Chains A and B, each alone.
Chain A
Amino acid sequence: MRLLDFFRTRRASSASVAKERLQILVAHEHAHRKRTPSYLPLLQKELLAVISKYVKINPDDMKVSLEQNEHEEILELNIVLPEESPKKARKTN
């Protein structure tokens, strides 16, 4: 066993191990990232402007996100209304 291990570690250089680890990691993180289409920030900004005409909300209390799976895409808008109003608005479409 020892001898085999010795040969095995000798064969894969540490740089190629590094490369493989990074490729897996980066692929994983990209899969996550791709889900955010580029129009989301602007959409969020414009929605915020419209909503602010009617309700005063903190920009941080509004979230727009897009969820994807094989069958459907869900655009989710989540707004936390300010303290005065005890309700929490949530709309999924």
Chain B
Amino acid sequence: MARTIVITSGKGGVGKTTTSASFAMGLAKNGHKTAVIDFDVGLRNLDLILGCERRVVYDFVNVINQEANLNQALIRDKRCDNLYVLPASQTRDKDALTQEGVGKVIDELREDFDYIICDSPAGIERGAMLAMYYADDAIIVTNPEVSSVRDSDRMLGILASKSRRSEQNEEPISEYLLLTRYDPARVKRGDMLSVEDVQEILSMDLLGVIPESQDILNASNSGDPVILMEKTNAAQAYRDVVERYLGEEIPQRFINQKGFLGRLFGG
């Protein structure tokens, strides 16, 4: 049975696209056939983060308008055969995505894929609402910062009332908290909310913590999702997230600041 997963946040710039790219690549590398859809119509970015921007011919809106079929629009990743990207359209027409059109595309993908990842735009406008509408699972990307936490809470309310599952009285969407741009040193100093704080405020299950990392900028510069930069903390954190999502029990890492001795012995 295919699963549709939305990567959402409410607030902009918290790391949804970074997460979508690495999470999708991680699932694909674990042997699952995965499609990742960019819902950010007008501001497509996922293609850049995945390094396939020059191979875009048709996009999501072309498929919805039946100007191209799904196979023509899906871009197969060069590094991993199991990963396919459906790029967003650059149109300025806000109504380009329709609920029915999105539903048809997702239904068609579900026949062929194990996982469908929906990279949501920020905000609660049409693109964001449709990205989460058909979801089975939601990953709420949150930064340890007041406005991001508040927006995540609002998204939880929306997931519980404005999704297909809620409207049809089905089992609710499963929600997972992903805390990104986490800086243990600042938490220790008392000027950043801790993992426990955010979990307590949102009362959600924690899928993982992605540390603040310079490597993410380097990854986006080169068009490789950071999960492929194997030695980096960010890659390890994203790999843990994928495995935890797939049901492995993996202890949380990158939550505590390494002490001097820890750093010395690489513990």
Contacts and interface: CB of A to CB of B under 8 A. Distances in A.
Contacts of A15: 187, 190-194, 197
B50 to A, nearest CB: 34
B247 to A, nearest CB: 27
B175 interface: no
A38 interface: yes
A16 interface: yes
A45 B166 CA distance: 12
A26 B169 contact: no
A38 to B, nearest CB: 7
Interface residues of A, number: 19
A41 B160 CA distance: 11
Nearest to A16: B190
B153 interface: yes
A25 B153 CA distance: 10
Interface residues of B, number: 24
A18 B200 CA distance: 13
Contacts of A18: 145-146, 193, 197
Judged by DSSP, the binding face of A is helix
A33 interface: yes
Contacts of A42: 167-169
B157 interface: yes
Interface in A1-46: 13-16, 18-19, 21-23, 25-26, 29, 33, 36, 38-39, 41-42, 45
Nearest to A44: B167
A36 B169 CA distance: 13
Interface in A40-59: 41-42, 45
B161 A41 contact: yes
Nearest to A13: B190
B154 interface: yes
B157 A26 contact: no
A36 B162 CA distance: 12
A42 to B, nearest CB: 5
A24 B20 CA distance: 31
A19 B169 contact: no
Interface of A: 13-16, 18-19, 21-23, 25-26, 29, 33, 36, 38-39, 41-42, 45
